[in-house]
Amino acid sequence: MSKPQDQQGGHTEPGENEPEPRSQQKLSIYDEDDVPFQDLSQSTVKRCLYLGMGIVAIVITSAFVITVPREIQLPFEYRGGLREVIYQYPEKIYLLKAHIDTGETVSVGTPLATITSEKIVQLIQTIDESRRDLELYQTFQRPVNEKGIELLRIKRAGVENRLQLATKAAQRHQSITTKELQNLRQQAESRRRQYQRNQSLHTKSALSDQALEQSQISLLEAEQLHLLTDRDQHEETMANAKLQESLKNELALLEAQLQNAIIEDKLQAAQTQQRYDLARQRLQRHYGPSKIAANSITLKSSVDGTVSMRIENESEIAPQEYLLRLQAGAGKPYAYAESPSSAIGLVKKGHRVVLRYDAFPHYYYGTMTAEIDTISSSPSAQGQYPIRLSIRELNRLEGKVINGMRGMASITVEEKPIMDYLLRAFLKHTSMD
């Protein structure tokens, strides 16, 4: 029997083609550089764990960084392109007479319409009362005040004159008394020397006792006269000082009374004039330039323009209804929105607004950007608060929109991070529990 040969035709050694033991087969399936299955599984788990922690960190950071705006939706009306003056009032008014017609051109000061209302009557009564007070003050009170002020000035001048006279008299008396005291002092010194000589002569029996006694009496009289004069001068000086002090106090009191009278007069004049001016300003602020008549006012145009609309065949105009409208040339575009009482506390001047028009779908034509310009502090008859929106960018809608177009305004009232909303919802849920 021939031996098996290899593919090259060579001979095979005994035992070469015999199978290896099973234990050796299990060990030979790995290469010496292979990683075990168990180590590879642990590395993958760690990588997935790190990746998950990174994603969680990114999500949490984003929740604190990314802000979400809170918006409210309000209907609005576009009123741009033309500078327009609208005459409408929050209370019911009555049209007594119309002085212009639609399409008529007016200038500043042109009478437009004569109207009245309960508020107009009250304001006119206030103006009349303040004007009467002003006239009464100017006619009666002011002359009385001026006479009182003039009387105080005369009294002040009299006291000043008396003070000057008292000062001069004191100075003159002081000068005279000083000279008189000096003479009396010299006279007393002279008599004292004479008395001393007489004493010396009397000692030498050259002078009689009677002559010495007469010399002594003369010395005593001179010294007594000097003392009395000095005392009188001191008392007179004190009396003059008291008189001057009294006159100075009286002068200061009259000066204070005079200043108080002048200030009081100016204060009364300012108060009466201010009440009158404020009453007229209140009327003009509510109704614009006007002329006051008997329980009514005649509105005057504040601009040069054209009457674009005037109410016809109606004598009673409801609150917020247009009485008339004047077009005064080109102006900046703006819009008016109305907010209910539930949302008026959220909107603030300067809030960003996005305007979407019903006639121009925003996904085709885009939107306009605006901001809140003014917010009315009083509601209309329907309970809505008017809001004026200043349009900043017309974008692709420039030249397409016209006055009166309506839409929806999205007002951004606040922007907060996502985490704030999540925590707010969580706290609200826990408080309910």
pLDDT at 233: 75
378 with 391, same domain?
Answer: yes
346 with 405, same domain?
Answer: yes
In a domain, 46, yes or no: no
Question: Could you give the C-alpha distances from 381 to 372, 388, 407, in angstroms and in order?
Answer: 22, 18, 22
pLDDT at 9: 45
In a domain, 433, yes or no: yes
137 with 251, same domain?
Answer: yes
pLDDT at 350: 87
Q: What is the pLDDT of residues 87-124, one digit of tens each?
A: 888 888 999 888 888 888 889 989 999 999 999 999 99
Positions of the chain with pLDDT lower than 50, given as ranges? 1-15, 23-25, 27, 30, 37
277 with 318, same domain?
Answer: no
Q: What is the DSSP letter of 208?
A: -
127 with 256, same domain?
Answer: yes
Per-residue HEC secondary structure of 279-334 comes to: HHHHHHHHHCCEEEECCEEEEECCCCEEEEEECCCCCEECCCCCCEEEEEEECCCE
142 with 175, same domain?
Answer: yes
pLDDT at 403: 79
pLDDT at 8: 44
CA distance 90 to 220: 105
151 with 100, same domain?
Answer: no
Q: What is the DSSP letter of 399?
A: T
pTM value > 0.75: no
Place of tokens 């993958």: 44
For 132, phi and psi rounded to 5 degrees? -65, -40
**424: how many CB neighbours lie within 10 A of its CB?**
11
CB neighbour burial string for 87-113, b if at least 16 within 10 angstroms, e if fewer: bebeeebebeebbbeeeeebeeebbbb
CA distance 46 to 151: 106
pLDDT at 17: 52
Place of tokens 């001048």: 157
Region of residue 157 (phi > 0: left; psi between -120 and 50: alpha; otherwise: beta): alpha
In a domain, 11, yes or no: no
CA distance 188 to 179: 14
For residue 421, which amino acid is it? Y
In a domain, 48, yes or no: no
In a domain, 382, yes or no: yes
In a domain, 140, yes or no: yes
Full domain range(s) for residue 263: 123-287
259 with 178, same domain?
Answer: yes
At residue 102, the 3 state secondary structure works out as: coil
pLDDT at 422: 67
**What is the tally of structural domains in the chain?**
3
Nearest residue to 372 (alpha-carbon basis) of 69, 76, 89, 86: 76
Q: Provide the strand spans (E) within 333-399.
A: 334-339, 352-357, 368-375, 385-393
